[in-house]
Amino acid sequence: MTSHQSPIWHPFTQHGLGDPTPLIARAEGARLYDAQDNSWIDAISSWWVTTHGHAHPRIMAAIRAQSEKLDQLIFAGWTHEPAEMLAAELIRITPDPLTRVFFSDSGSTSVEVALKMALGYWYNIGEPRSRILVLEHSYHGDTIGTMSVGERGVYNRAWQPLLFDVDTIPFPHEGLEQATLDALEAACAQKPAAFIVEPLILGAGGMLIYPAWVLAEMRSICARHGVLFIADEVMTGWGRTGTRFACDQAGVIPDIVCLSKGLTGGSLPLAVTLCIEPIFAAHWSTDRAKTFYHSSSYTANPIACAAANANLEIWRDEPVQQRIDALAVAQGAHLSMLGHNPRVANPRRLGTIAALDIVVPDSGYLSNLAPRLIAFYRDHGVLLRPLGNTVYVMPPYCIEPDELAQVWNVIAASLDAPG
């Protein structure tokens, strides 16, 4: 294990706990290596981004080739081939009503853009609306706006005074789905601007799964009330839930979709917000006051777009869906073997994502459980990062069966390890 003294302030890291920070030198497939060739299996796809595996040759080649042609370009009033190709392909693979593509550079930003599009729409058509409906336990990012539409808690307590008010719809727990739908129906009657959801599974909220019919029903309630429906597919997109997009499984066509993470196969930061024509049309004018005022310096960076185009080629040319199907089956088999362990509760799976809760004796134990588990997994050659007492496995689709077995063996061992 390599430790590293450095001036870096790491994200979501309590430096006061003094945990060692592995120094990774290279990665390939589902494995990370340090300079001494110690390796770790990346069982969470480097925080949900790596889909086809690290350093996929096709994506690396596209990055190399693009870097020799055009590195960066202002995107206000100018354009380039990799962005044009990518936008056209995204429009081709998503449902017909989604006609416009807005580029940005992270999942959080794509959500900020979605919220701004929604309010911009209502403002520009002369019926200003500003309330946003959100689902309980949601996570949409760590900027002020995305924290506002996410679950409130220890992660954002210090900034609570800056967060705007939203209306929260209860999570559709099993047996309580109708209560969720009724609450949404009542909230929609108040004429909010939009409802934002993570389709089918709430990631950071604890890998909470809900059925496709509920997603479909929520969508049609919004449609009936003319409330814009925003699907945050930042985590669920690109095959994680078993289909390319989670909304596909529910036959849902959102008004706005946010994509990032696996958009470049997990190689470079890039995000898009897709929307339906009326939202674009509401901003289309000879009046400069109706311009959509949003940009990041690296909007539609050409090298990142080239990486995303390579990702889409991989989806076209390689048996990606078969890999996803096989991984889903394997995850289910491993999960069912562990499901009988008395320390395991709520084993659950959606597509390639498998999760379980560890039964803990008391909540004080819980507070230290995740860091202890993270260290245990790290010491046993596996990168896993439980959410509280929820352990989940979300590997790249290229993970080998023996690597996946090792991940689950280490999880099993962690259940028996002394506290």
Ligand X SMILES: *Cc1c(COP(=O)(O)O)cnc(C)c1O
CB of 204 or CB of 303, closer to ligand X: 204
Give alpha helix (H) positions in 354-396.
363-379
Interface with ligand X, residue 199, by CB under 6 A: no
Distances (CA, A) of 317 to 55, 61, 312: 17, 16, 9
Bridge partners (DSSP) of residue 26 are 33
Q: Which of 40, 103, 122, 139 binds ligand X (CB under 6 A)?
A: 139
Please name every residue paired with 167 in a beta bridge, in sequence order, or none if there are none.
133
141 binds ligand X (CB under 6 A): yes
Q: Is 45 in the site for ligand X (CB under 6 A)?
A: no
Nearer to ligand X, 330 or 355 (CB): 355
Q: How many CB atoms lie within 10 A of CB 79?
A: 12
Q: Is 107 in the site for ligand X (CB under 6 A)?
A: yes
How many other C-beta atoms can be found within 10 angstroms of the C-beta atom of residue 4? Answer: 9
- Rule CB under 6 A: choose which of 120, 172, 203, 396 binds ligand X: 203
Cα dihedral sign for 254, 258, 261, 265? positive
Burial degree of 246 (CB within 10 A; 0-12, 13-18, 19+): buried
The yes or no reply on residue 124 touching ligand X (CB under 6 A) is no
Instruction: Tell me which of 140, 283, 348, 349 binds ligand X, using CB under 6 A.
Output: 140
Among residues 50, 94, 124, 260, the one that binds ligand X under rule CB under 6 A: 260
Q: Where are the beta strands (DSSP E) in 112-157?
A: 132-135
- Comparing C-alpha atoms, which of 85, 22, 80 is closest to residue 313? 85
Kindly tell me which of 166 and 360 has the beta carbon lying closer to ligand X. Answer: 166
Nearer to ligand X, 238 or 408 (CB): 238
Number of residues binding to ligand X, judged by CB under 6 A:
14
Q: How many Å from the N-terminal Cα to the C-terminal Cα in the chain? A: 22
CB-nearer residue toward ligand X: 353 or 410: 353
Asked if 247 contacts 241 with a C-beta cutoff of 8 angstroms, the reply is no
**Exactly one of 59, 111, 304, 382 binds ligand X (CB under 6 A); which one?**
111
Q: Could you tell me if 354 and 408 are in contact, meaning their C-beta atoms sit under 8 angstroms apart?
A: no
CB of 229 to ligand X, least distance (A): 15
Find tokens 């058509």 and name the residue.
125
Interacting residue with ligand X among 45, 50, 51, 106 (CB under 6 A) = 106
Q: Cβ of residue 329: shortest distance to ligand X, in angstroms?
A: 24
As a whole number of angstroms, the distance between CA 393 and CA 372 comes to 17
Q: What is the largest CA-CA distance in the chain?
A: 68
Shortest distance, CB of residue 111 to ligand X, whole angstroms?
Answer: 6
Is the CB of 89 or the CB of 232 nearer to ligand X?
Answer: 232
Closer to ligand X by Cβ: residue 150 or 344: 150
Closest-by-Cβ residue to ligand X is 107
Is position 248 annotated in a ligand binding site? no
User: What 8-state DSSP symbol labels residue 313?
Assistant: H
Of 218, 108, 117, 234, which Cα lies nearest the Cα of 169?
Answer: 218
Stretch that binds ligand X, among 135-143, 237-245, 333-341, 400-408 (CB under 6 A): 135-143
Q: Which is nearer to ligand X, 232 or 403 (CB)?
A: 232
Q: How many CB atoms lie within 10 A of CB 140?
A: 29
Q: Does 299 bind ligand X (CB under 6 A)?
A: no
* Interface region with ligand X, contact rule CB under 6 A, candidates 27-35, 70-78, 128-136, 232-240: 232-240
Q: Pick the binder of ligand X from 234, 324, 330, 393 (CB under 6 A).
A: 234
Indicate the DSSP class of residue 54. Answer: B
Which residues are part of a known binding site? 47, 107-108, 139, 232, 261, 295-297, 385
| Interacting residues with ligand X (CB under 6 A) | 106-108, 111, 139-141, 198, 203-204, 232, 234-235, 260
